[in-house]
Amino acid sequence: MPHNPRFALTPGEPAGIGPDLCLLLARQQHRHPLICIASRALMQTRALQLGLAINLIEVGPAAWPQQPAAAGSLYVWDTPLGAPVETGQLNGANAVYVLQTLTRAAQGCLDGHFAGLVTCPVHKGIINEAGIAFSGHTEFLADLTGTPQVVMMLATHGLRVALVTTHLPLKDVAGAITAERLLKVTRILHADLRDKFGIAKPRILVCGLNPHAGEGGHLGREEIEVIEPALQQLREEGMDLIGPLPADTLFTPKHLEHCDAVLAMYHDQGLPVLKYKGFGAAVNVTLGLPIVRTSVDHGTALDLAGTGRIDSGSLQVALETAYQMVRRPVAG
């Protein structure tokens, strides 16, 4: 890792608040060079709309900066839009642009130009409506980096929640909870808590799938037939795993105060609790990738784009988390 590593920043959906967040972040100087991969024209227009005097400095592979930009400045790797942007109005013509910014950022990490990637929110619906199958950053980056299994984890002060399944319809979740998936996801979570967060012996609480964790088989048998056998195999590998526990009582101080992460079976089982606890000050982390990737914990907020009535706290947390993950020593 270079003495002063560079980080890539993608604004996500161009009509949303992502560009605004990047510009707000540029009002202060950061510890490391931060490269915003975006349309320079878009960033310039949005800065004028917000009344921000931000100096946009064009950079690229031919000449990467070695030092952080001064306060009030932002490094931009100019990436052309597919169509002009109307703030707050989605346009499928820019779906390819959004994915191009992500591709440039991730490939730059793989090639060693960037130490990590920080992402602002994309709009999955408009990308799919443009005819491009897209289920989210997590899955896209896994495919781009050739990673067979990744794990989505959100974190805020005092709570980390990782997911066994991510963006699936609820009717498909039970069938996706297999022993193979549980083994892979839990091993990735355990390894990255050690290697990227410096936790020597992670303790992980595991949610059951069904109400009351199946209530001894009366409310479902996934806990008995799939989850518990997988957890027992992992315990024999030396992991400290508690569960499966009923999700309605797991998220209480009695359980959480002595754990390093919670493993939830599906998206809306664990994330509502985390977002209630830390919305606006939480970070989304993709575990298992060969690169560091963090993100904000919220959506595109089209109605707030260009208004200046937004909080950049989650992006700041995402950036600080990326710094920490890159510099974190491997736990002993």
**Confidence at residue 138, expressed as pLDDT on a 0 to 100 scale:** 87
* Residue 202 in domain: yes
* Residue 258 in domain: yes
What residues make up the domain containing 318?
Answer: 7-147+289-325
Q: Point out which residues pair with 185 in neighbouring strands.
A: none
* Residue 21 in domain: yes
Determine whether the annotation assigns residue 157 to a binding site. Answer: no
Q: Are residues 56 and 119 in the same domain?
A: yes
Q: Are residues 143 and 155 in the same domain?
A: no
pLDDT 10s digits, 261-294: 999 999 999 999 999 998 878 999 999 999 999 9
**Confidence at residue 329, expressed as pLDDT on a 0 to 100 scale:** 53
In this predicted model, which residue has the larger pLDDT, 135 or 111? 111
Say yes or no to pLDDT of 332 above 80: no
Say yes or no to pLDDT of 328 above 80: no
* Residue 330 in domain: no
d(CA 313, CA 90): 24
d(CA 134, CA 129): 10
d(CA 188, CA 150): 7
Q: Tell if the pTM clears 0.75, that is, is over it.
A: yes
Say yes or no to pLDDT of 207 above 80: yes
Say yes or no to pLDDT of 3 above 80: no
Is residue 139 a contact partner of residue 106, using CB atoms and an 8 Å limit?
A: no
Retrieve residue 185's tokens.
């996801």
Determine whether the annotation assigns residue 87 to a binding site. Answer: no
Q: Are residues 124 and 16 in the same domain?
A: yes
Retrieve residue 38's tokens.
């975006």
Q: How many domains does the chain have?
A: 2
Average pLDDT, the chain: 94
Q: Residue 103: which of 37, 6, 166, 35 has the closest Cα?
A: 37
Determine whether the annotation assigns residue 171 to a binding site. Answer: no
pLDDT 10s digits, 28-55: 999 999 999 999 999 999 999 999 999 9
Retrieve residue 18's tokens.
């992502």
Determine whether the annotation assigns residue 255 to a binding site. Answer: no
Q: Residue 236: CB partners within 8 Å, gap ≥ 6?
A: none
Say yes or no to pLDDT of 215 above 80: yes
**pLDDT tier at 236 (50, 70, 90 boundaries)?**
very high
Say yes or no to pLDDT of 81 above 50: yes
Phi, then psi, of 119 in degrees rounded to 5: -115, 145
If DSSP codes are grouped into helix, strand and coil, which group holds residue 235? Answer: helix
Task: Tally Cβ neighbours within 10 Å of residue 89.
Answer: 9
Determine whether the annotation assigns residue 128 to a binding site. Answer: no
Q: Are residues 157 and 136 in the same domain?
A: no
Retrieve residue 67's tokens.
């030092």
Q: What secondary structure letter does DSSP report for 4?
A: S
Domain CATH code at residue 65? 3.40.718.10
pLDDT 10s digits, 154-184: 999 889 999 999 889 999 999 999 999 999 9
Determine whether the annotation assigns residue 104 to a binding site. Answer: no
Share of the chain above pLDDT 70, in %: 98
Q: Are residues 271 and 306 in the same domain?
A: no
Say yes or no to pLDDT of 124 above 70: yes
* Residue 31 in domain: yes
Q: Are residues 170 and 111 in the same domain?
A: no
**Confidence at residue 2, expressed as pLDDT on a 0 to 100 scale:** 53
Say yes or no to pLDDT of 121 above 90: yes
* Residue 23 in domain: yes
Q: Give the neighbor-by-neighbor strand order of the sheet with 7-10.
A: 55-58, 73-78, 34-38, 7-10, 116-119, 292-295, 283-287, 151-156, 159-163, 261-264, 203-207, 240-245
Q: Are residues 93 and 56 in the same domain?
A: yes
Q: Are residues 164 and 200 in the same domain?
A: yes
Amino acid at the residue 282: A
d(CA 318, CA 311): 13
* Residue 281 in domain: no
Q: Are residues 143 and 163 in the same domain?
A: no
* Residue 234 in domain: yes
Determine whether the annotation assigns residue 167 to a binding site. Answer: yes
In this predicted model, which residue has the larger pLDDT, 217 or 4? 217
Q: Are residues 104 and 159 in the same domain?
A: no
Q: Are residues 104 and 221 in the same domain?
A: no
Determine whether the annotation assigns residue 113 to a binding site. Answer: no
Q: Are residues 218 and 117 in the same domain?
A: no
Say yes or no to pLDDT of 1 above 70: no
